[in-house]
Amino acid sequence: MILIDGKLTSQIIKEEIANSVATIKKKNGKIPHLAAIIVGEDPASKIYVNHKVKACAQVGFNSTLIELPIDITEEQLLDELEILNKDTDIDGFIVQLPLPDHIDEQKVIMAVNPKKDIDGFHPVNIGKMTLELPGILPATPYGILELLERYKIEPSGKHVVVVGRSHIVGRPISILLSQKRETGNATVTLAHSRTKNLKEITLQADILVAAIGKANFITADMVKNDVIIIDVGTNSIPDTSRKSGHRLVGDVDFERVSKKASYITPVPGGVGPMTIAMLLKNTLTAAQKKEA
Ligand code: GUN
Q: What is the pLDDT of residues 223-251, one digit of tens each?
A: 999 999 999 999 999 999 999 999 999 99
- Asked whether 97 lines ligand 1 (CB < 6 A), one says yes
229 and 186 in a common domain: yes
Q: What is the pLDDT of residues 86-121, one digit of tens each?
A: 999 999 999 999 999 999 999 999 999 999 999 999
Final residue before a domain boundary, out of 83, 101, 116: 116
Q: How much is the pTM?
A: 0.97
Q: Give a yes or no: residue 17 inside a domain.
A: no
Q: Give a yes or no: residue 78 inside a domain.
A: yes
* Residues with Cβ within 8 Å of residue 144, at least 6 apart in sequence: 173, 209, 230, 232, 271, 274
- pLDDT-derived band at 291, boundaries 50, 70, 90: confident
Total number of domains in the chain: 2
- Domain span at residue 82 reads 28-116
Mutate to test the pocket of ligand 1, among 52, 96, 106 (most ligand atoms within 8 A of CB): 96
241 and 149 in a common domain: yes
Q: Give a yes or no: residue 292 inside a domain.
A: no
pLDDT at 292 over 80: no
CA of 96 to the centre of ligand 1 (A): 5
172 and 58 in a common domain: no
CA of 98 to the centre of ligand 1 (A): 7
Sheet containing 207-210: which strands, arranged edge to edge?
2-3, 263-264, 228-231, 207-210, 159-163, 187-191
pLDDT at 23 over 90: yes
- Asked whether 253 lines ligand 1 (CB < 6 A), one says no
- Mean residue pLDDT of the chain comes to 97
65 and 96 in a common domain: yes
Q: Give a yes or no: residue 284 inside a domain.
A: no
**DSSP-based three-state secondary structure for 143:** helix
262 and 144 in a common domain: yes
53 and 92 in a common domain: yes
163 and 53 in a common domain: no
